[in-house]
């Protein structure tokens, strides 16, 4: 509660506020940025929504997504930067320059691997999503929710809980989501935009990913990968293919799932998921990334080819999985 009060006092003192999400933005990131943007704007703050990365096309079905700006040099410094859903400074891309320039920074996040890099930090891993924290904050600040704000805020709660399926779902998630639905958020619309909007090419990529599928540890560990040329073949970027790691986790025997996508030669994003007991955030942390116990990730850099570079990671996971 103390850190929420410190955050509110920072907001009250600021006039121009930058709300910044993380690179490779997901639904929680975009939802937190946009709902905080619209919420603070209704309190007559000058607010700029920011994410230093390309935003996946389906999110443009939601209002105000087109107003999100990327970093550019000569960025006019705000009084306050609020960083959402980001566990460490490297997650905000070019906006790290504002940290270096000494801009006052507040962090709102639910990752347990958060490094507390703000002047004030409201970090609470008990929340399902950063969007749920934004909801609580806007409620405390007496922001009135119209249909649009409710929709924007709902998106992150839905996506970060896998549409109310994951272990981060508790009664508070349903209570807050129910409030947002009462205020006018349309759950079926959000589900349709996010889940039923896939390109045919994604299925072809899935076929390639299935060809690379490996299963280890008596079925407890499943992993796969795609290289740059796979994506090029179908004209898709690696951001347009994000759900496959959850598909791997859905195999009955699987406890840990891993999926790596090569963004350029020598660099891949690795996504990790677990089902019941294995803490994948420890693996991600060991390789320079972060996340949650059941969902984490990191960037892998290497000299040779991706499948060989992955061997170190798979060995690391197998050793720990066999201990359990």
Contact positions vs ligand 5GP (CB under 6 A): 24, 26, 87-88, 91, 271, 289-292, 295-299
- Asked whether the beta carbons of 50 and 70 are under 8 A apart, the reply is yes
The dihedrals phi and psi of 31, each to the nearest 5 degrees, come to -65, -45
Q: Tell me whether residue 29 or residue 209 sits nearer to Mn ion (CB atom).
A: 29
Distance CA 82, CA 107 (A): 6
With H, G, I as helix, E, B as strand and everything else as coil, classify residue 240.
helix
Q: Tell me whether residue 219 or residue 288 sits nearer to ligand 5GP (CB atom).
A: 288
- Asked whether the beta carbons of 216 and 228 are under 8 A apart, the reply is no
Q: Which of ligand 5GP, Mn ion, none does residue 208 bind to, with CB < 5 to 8 Å depending on kind?
A: none
The reply on whether position 28 binds Mn ion by CB under 5 A is yes
Contact letters for Mn ion, residues 31-70 (x by CB under 5 A): ----------------------------------------
Q: Which of Mn ion, ligand 5GP, none does residue 117 bind to, with CB < 5 to 8 Å depending on kind?
A: none
Distance CA 275, CA 26 (A): 20
Residue 9 C-beta: closest distance to Mn ion, Å:
25
Among 29, 82, 98, 151, binds Mn ion (CB under 5 A): 29
Q: Which of Mn ion, ligand 5GP, none does residue 299 bind to, with CB < 5 to 8 Å depending on kind?
A: ligand 5GP
Q: Tell me whether residue 156 or residue 290 sits nearer to ligand 5GP (CB atom).
A: 290
The reply on whether position 160 binds Mn ion by CB under 5 A is yes
- Asked whether the beta carbons of 64 and 48 are under 8 A apart, the reply is no
Using the CB atoms, write b or e for 208-223: b if 16+ within 10 Å.
Answer: bbeebeeeebeebbbb
SS3 letters for 172-194? HHHHHHHHHHHCCCCHHHHHHHH
Q: How many residues lie near Mn ion (CB under 5 A)?
A: 7
Q: Tell me whether residue 42 or residue 115 sits nearer to ligand 5GP (CB atom).
A: 115
**Considering only CA atoms, which of 307, 313, 309 is closest in space to residue 230?**
307
Q: Which of ligand 5GP, Mn ion, none does residue 258 bind to, with CB < 5 to 8 Å depending on kind?
A: none
Here the tokens at position 135 are 């909801």
Contact letters for Mn ion, residues 68-97 (x by CB under 5 A): -----------------x------------
Here the tokens at position 1 are 């509660």
Using the CB atoms, write b or e for 131-161: b if 16+ within 10 Å.
Answer: bbbbbbbbeebebebeebbbbbbbbbbbbbb
Residue nearest to ligand 5GP (CB): 297
The reply on whether position 26 binds Mn ion by CB under 5 A is yes
Residue 130 C-beta: closest distance to Mn ion, Å:
5
Query: Which residues in this chain contact Mn ion in the complex, by CB under 5 A?
Result: 26, 28-29, 85, 129-130, 160
């Amino acid at each position: 509660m103390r850190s929420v009060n410190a955050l509110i006092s920072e907001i009250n003192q600021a006039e121009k506020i930058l709300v910044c999400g993380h690179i490779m933005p997901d639904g929680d990131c975009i939802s937190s940025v946009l709902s905080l943007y619209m919420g603070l704007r209704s309190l007559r703050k000058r607010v700029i929504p920011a994410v230093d990365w390309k935003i996946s096309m389906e999110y443009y079905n939601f209002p105000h997504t087109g107003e999100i700006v990327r970093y550019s040099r000569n960025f006019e410094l705000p009084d306050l930067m609020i960083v959402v859903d980001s566990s460490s400074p490297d997650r905000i891309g070019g906006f790290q320059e504002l940290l270096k320039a000494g801009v006052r920074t507040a962090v709102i996040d639910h990752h347990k691997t958060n490094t507390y890099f703000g002047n004030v930090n409201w970090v609470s891993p008990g929340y399902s999503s950063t969007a749920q924290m934004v909801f609580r904050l806007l409620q405390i600040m007496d922001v009135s929710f119209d249909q649009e704000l409710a929709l924007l805020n709902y998106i992150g709660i839905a996506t970060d809980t896998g549409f109310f399926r994951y272990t981060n779902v508790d009664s508070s998630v349903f209570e807050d989501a129910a409030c947002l639905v009462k205020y006018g958020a349309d759950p079926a619309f959000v589900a349709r935009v996010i889940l039923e909007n896939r390109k045919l090419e994604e299925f072809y990529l899935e076929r390639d990913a299935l060809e690379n599928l490996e299963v280890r540890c008596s079925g407890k560990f499943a992993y796969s990968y795609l290289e740059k040329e796979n994506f090029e073949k179908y004209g898709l970027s690696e951001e347009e293919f994000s759900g496959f790691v959850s598909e791997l986790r859905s195999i009955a025997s699987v406890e840990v799932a891993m999926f790596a996508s090569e963004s350029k030669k020598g660099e891949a994003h690795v996504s990790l998921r677990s089902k019941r007991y294995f803490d994948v955030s420890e693996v991600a942390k060991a390789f320079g990334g972060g996340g949650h116990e059941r969902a984490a990730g990191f960037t892998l850099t290497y000299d040779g080819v991706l499948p060989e570079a992955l061997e170190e990671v798979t060995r690391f996971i197998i050793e720990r999985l066999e201990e359990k």
